[in-house]
A = this chain, B = another copy of it.
């Protein structure tokens, strides 16, 4: 049986370990929920204060130019691009993941239908994060029958892509199980059927290797407040392959996506490329915090970047699975996440019939993960700040809770968490 010292040894040899100091994490807390809300970089409070007090308070309206607010969405987008295999000028950080998904879905459907009007289906996975399905449903409702959303079982997704498919819309890493699609293979298979492919990178960006160009994806969107550590409700991001730049039309045609926003022309002319996916004025304070979060991920560059992050993520999740299965297997925990590391994102989920009170008990003991209905214990691993000893300690607490059944005493607080 492995000892805590074995895990401590892994931390000593971990090139990413020093990066943990970038984050504020309360002493004694084991935070395994960075896939819901990433931890706060220590640089963020000062940067936010600077934006509020200096740029806004003193600079006022002048800061749109003097502090570069007007370029901020593109500037943060360029930084995110480096984490997802996109090129400079291809990503903007704006709006929410849901709003950005609406934009790219509408754009992708129009492109697909310009090629072939018979393509009326959006295919997705029934266990996709609900907002993705809702957004597709909302678009279909607006288009009154021109589009049908088919949310099928995961195993049936590829077989469901047909000559009627306009868009295949998938979340790269499943929010509930951590199961990860082979982006390149799935994209190629769907495109071979003439479909466009939209990827939601909410649980991928900053945690696993993503290469949108290598995968030849069509559109992608993602979240700023999970592994990018951008803060609660941080702006999201959006990417499109440059082959769509000329023809992509997105319906949220706001003034900051106009080719000449300050000409105040009454007619909409989209800006070139991804800039047309900007809509209204972005929330500058939250966007500045997002930039700090993205910088915290980019700081891993010298220690191997995303490849090193992914390698550590795999080691952390594997260690967690192994440790649980060797220590608490008899207590009714069942692995829900893929056992094979290359099929798994940066999280591990176990099912248990008492998952909810067990998670409450864990949180009360300082091990913060997530409960996902009906019976999932979800643990996220952010390699930038999660240590191998955290894996050991978390499992120790979990085993004790299970073996003493102390979760029965856990306060049943109402708790909702944002994925």
**Interface positions of A from 239 to 289, Cβ below 8 Å from B:** 249-255, 258, 261-268, 279-287, 289
Residues of B within 8 A of A417 (CB): 61, 64
Once bound together, how far apart are the Cα atoms of A234 and B279, in whole Å? Answer: 14
Q: How far is the CB of A71 from chain B (nearest CB, A)?
A: 11
Instruction: Decide yes or no whether A220 CB sits under 8 A from chain B.
Output: no
Q: Contact residue range for chain A?
A: 35 or more
Closest residue of chain B to A175, judged by CB? B264
Say yes or no for A37: interface residue by CB 8 A criterion: yes
Interface positions, chain A 4-50, Cβ under 8 Å from B, are 24, 26, 29, 31, 33, 36-37, 39-40, 44-45, 48-49
Complex contacts, A48 vs chain B, CB 8 Å: 48-49, 52, 285
A301 close to B (CB within 8 Å): no
A76 to chain B, nearest CB (A): 13
Within the assembled complex, what's the spacing in Å between the Cα atoms of A167 and B44? 44
B-contacting residues, A90-111, CB 8 Å: 95-99, 102, 106, 110
Contacts of A214 in B (CB 8 A): none
- Measured CB to CB, the closest approach of chain B to A23, in angstroms, equals 9
A370's partner among B57, B61, B97, B133 (CB-CB below 8 A) is B61
A185 in the interface (beta carbon within 8 A): no
Q: Which of B134, B279, B289 contacts A255 (CB 8 A)?
A: B134
Q: Which residue in chain B gives the minimum CB-CB distance to A372?
A: B264
Residue among A55, A95, A131 with max Cβ neighbours from chain B (10 Å):
A131
Known contacts A141-B251, A255-B134; is-contact A418 B285 (Cβ 8 Å): no
Contact B142 A98 (CB under 8 A): no
Q: Is A63 an interface position by the 8 A CB rule?
A: yes
Selected contact of A40 from candidates B57, B127, B261, B415, CB within 8 Å: B57
Docked complex Cα distance between A413 and B64 (Å) = 13
Inter-subunit contact A289/B52 (CB<8 Å): yes
A283 and B280: CB pair below 8 A?
A: no
> Within 8 Å of chain B (Cβ to Cβ): is A137?
yes
**Bound Cα distance A110, B283 (Å):** 30
Name the residue of chain B whose CB is nearest to the CB of A413. B65
Q: A36 touching B61 by the CB < 8 A rule? A: yes
Docked-complex contact B415 and A233, CB < 8 angstroms: no
A392 at the interface (CB under 8 A from B): no
Can you offer 17 A-B residue contacts whose CB atoms are under 8 A? Answer: A31-B60, A37-B60, A40-B53, A56-B231, A62-B363, A69-B233, A96-B279, A102-B251, A102-B252, A106-B142, A128-B266, A130-B258, A131-B254, A133-B268, A134-B253, A232-B283, A234-B283
Give residues in A with beta carbon < 8 Å to B.
24, 26, 29, 31, 33, 36-37, 39-40, 44-45, 48-49, 51-53, 55-58, 60-65, 69-70, 95-99, 102, 106, 110, 126-131, 133-135, 137-139, 141-143, 151, 176, 225, 231-236, 249-255, 258, 261-268, 279-287, 289, 363, 368, 370, 372-373, 413-418
A-B interface, 6 closest residue pairs, ranked by CB to CB distance from nearest: A96-B280, A138-B253, A98-B280, A283-B286, A98-B254, A131-B255
